[in-house]
A = this chain, B = another copy of it.
């Protein structure tokens, strides 16, 4: 792991590459917009004024810092010290807002008055709608028609906030088609529109921008654990969909080799069934949505549909920096099945009184699996990226509770 000791400052390079991954595999027409975004991001992000505004938004609006909560009863069960990073308490119920607030603020600096975003289950769309309403920006959310039909709740929430939800009828009518459509809209409306990507995916500079806006998670964990325990955690776990909560969690610890980093992907119904969303764990190198990364594809390079009970992990790609971290041996990548995630929800609800979202339930599931490897004084941190409120309809279908 010696090669991670001098990680910071090296990635991405000036072309947006993380080692051989990432990049800017985008239509020519987007390149100037991506360049403008990159430049504007660097200018603003390094300015004190922007930072002050961001800190203010994170604090008073989003509810940061979120607690690092010591799980008393879960710790007893696991036989080590378990902490949850409580992103479920962020306004909107998930870490997604850290990013949408940051990008919306950036959009106002770029004098764009319209936000567009893709969404799968609606979590990122909701977070974008929040940010759009807060800043008074026109907001339009692209959402596969299938997702619109099965996520009526979130569609309603976005509309309530004044966002327009545009159903996408092309392709599989799910997340990746929504991204395709959002990219197309952006191509057509590039002057006054900011495309607000929801995870550390897409062409450069998105993986960088989203990582930076999510880094606050790891920064807070570091400070909080030092205050509470006086030392860094032995292991940190986070689920990986596109990878934003994980990247935000892990980044601050990359050069701290004593802390193991574990990313958990969606194993769906099992890797062998082909019905999963584990692009990093079980995918192969390829280009999707503007970046060279790991993806789920067939032998010819056609993108395959992913499968997961958790909408947020149901994506056939993954952030390029995760691939780099995995390849240099700094990040361990594993997967948990739908069933394991459901069991983890049950455990977490009954032991800690917290209903986790299905996404971080995958991380809790893995934590349960490896808990025996840790001792009483070992410290395990799990990023609870969101609240399960959004998942009740799905849980109802899968977890029948007695009358």
Interface residues of A (CB under 8 A from B): 59-61, 63, 66-70, 73, 86, 88-89, 91, 93, 129-134, 136, 153, 156-157, 159-162, 345-346, 349-355, 388-389, 392, 395-396, 399, 401-402
Contact = CB atoms under 8 A, between A and B. Distances in A.
B160 A401 contact: yes
A37 B68 CA distance: 32
- Copies of this protein, total: 2
A349 B133 contact: yes
Given A63-B67, A160-B401, A352 B89 contact: no
Contacts of A352: 133-134
Classify the interface of chain A: helix, strand, loop or mixed. Answer: helix
Contact of A350 (B93, B162, B353, B401): B162
Nearest to A228: B60
A69 B73 contact: no
A36 to B, nearest CB: 26
Contact of A66 (B63, B88, B156): B63
A133 B211 CA distance: 34
A68 B60 contact: yes
A16 B61 CA distance: 39
11 contacts: A73-B134, A88-B91, A130-B354, A133-B353, A136-B351, A156-B401, A157-B355, A157-B389, A159-B402, A161-B349, A161-B350
Given A133-B350, A389-B93, A156 B60 contact: no
Contacts of A134: 73, 352-353
Contacts of A350: 133, 161-162
Contact of A395 (B70, B86, B160): B160
A160 B349 contact: yes
A233 to B, nearest CB: 16
The 6 closest A-B pairs by CB, nearest first: A133-B353, A134-B353, A130-B353, A63-B89, A60-B67, A162-B350
Nearest to A69: B60
Contacts of A162: 349-350
Given A350-B133, A352-B134, A159 B67 contact: no
A396 to B, nearest CB: 6
A352 B62 CA distance: 12
Given A60-B67, A73-B136, A157-B355, 20 more contacts: A59-B67, A61-B67, A63-B63, A63-B66, A63-B67, A73-B134, A86-B91, A88-B91, A89-B89, A89-B91, A133-B350, A134-B352, A134-B353, A156-B395, A156-B396, A159-B401, A159-B402, A160-B345, A160-B346, A160-B401
A161 B401 CA distance: 10
B86 A392 contact: no
Contacts of A61: 67, 69
Nearest to A155: B401
Contacts of A130: 353-354
